[in-house]
């Protein structure tokens, strides 16, 4: 059974205690966005086979939303982090790179941070 550690209350929660919330770090498109951008925000998903960042809620615990990095193919969990974080933390990126050396974060500054 999938087990994630809630970064707020520290409880190691089994998946029956959690509610999944889909892909993380989606950029909300406001009224100024185009129809294509809004469609992308609402429906288009990366649906990664590999390192996946996703939202979870500790539904039957502290009730807070948090984020998790997980491998959708091997079910390995690389770590969890707070929902207010713009990207996965360096240690999580490190864990993911260790399991999948070919994987590169798709946000700008992270790759240098990991090497350092």
Partner 1 sequence: MPIQRSGRYSIFAIARQAMGQHQGWTRAWASPEPRDRYKVVIVGAGGHGLATAYYLGKNFGITDVAVIEKGWLGGGNTGRNTTIIRSNYLQDPSAAIYDKALKLYENLSQDLNYNVMFSPRGLIMLAQTEHEVRGYKRTVYANTLQGVATEWIEPERVKQLVPIINIEGPRYPVLGGLYQARGGTARHDAVAWGYARACSDMGMHVIQNCEVTGIETANGQVQAVNTARGRIACDKLALVVAGHSSQLAEMAGFRLPIESVPLQAIVSEPIKPCMDVVVMANTVHGYMSQSDKGEMVIGGGTDSYNAFTQRGSWHHIEETVRALIETFPMISRLKMLRQWGGIVDMTGDRSPILSATPVGGIFVNCGWGTGGFKAIPGSGWAMAELVANGRPGPLAAAFGLNRFREGRFVDESVAAGVAH
Is residue 2 involved in binding partner 1 (CB under 8 A)?
A: yes
How many C-beta neighbours within 10 Å does residue 76 have?
Answer: 15
Helices (H), the chain: 35-42, 90-99, 110-115
Query: Which one among 22, 30, 101, 108 touches partner 1, defined by CB under 8 A?
Result: 22
1 near partner 1 (CB under 8 A): yes
Distance of alpha carbon 80 from alpha carbon 37, whole angstroms: 28
Summarize the chain as % helix, strand, coil (round to 5).
25, 25, 50
Q: Which of residues 48-77 bind partner 1 (CB under 8 A)?
A: 48-49, 52, 54, 72-75
28 contacts partner 1 (rule: CB under 8 A) = no
Q: Where do contacts with partner 1 occur on this chain (CB under 8 A)?
A: 1-2, 15-16, 19-20, 22-23, 35-36, 39-40, 42-49, 52, 54, 72-75
């Amino acid at each position: 059974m999938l087990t994630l550690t809630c970064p707020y209350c520290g409880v190691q929660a089994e998946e029956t205690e959690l509610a999944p919330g889909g892909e993380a770090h989606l950029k909300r498109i406001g009224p100024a966005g185009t129809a294509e951008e809004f469609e992308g925000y609402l429906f288009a998903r990366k649906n990664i086979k590999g390192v996946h960042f996703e939202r979870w809620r500790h539904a039957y615990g502290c009730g807070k939303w948090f984020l998790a990095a997980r491998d959708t193919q091997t079910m390995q969990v690389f770590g969890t982090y707070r929902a207010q974080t713009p990207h996965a933390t360096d240690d999580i990126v490190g864990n993911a790179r260790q399991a999948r050396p070919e994987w590169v974060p798709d946000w700008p500054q992270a790759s240098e941070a990991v090497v350092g």
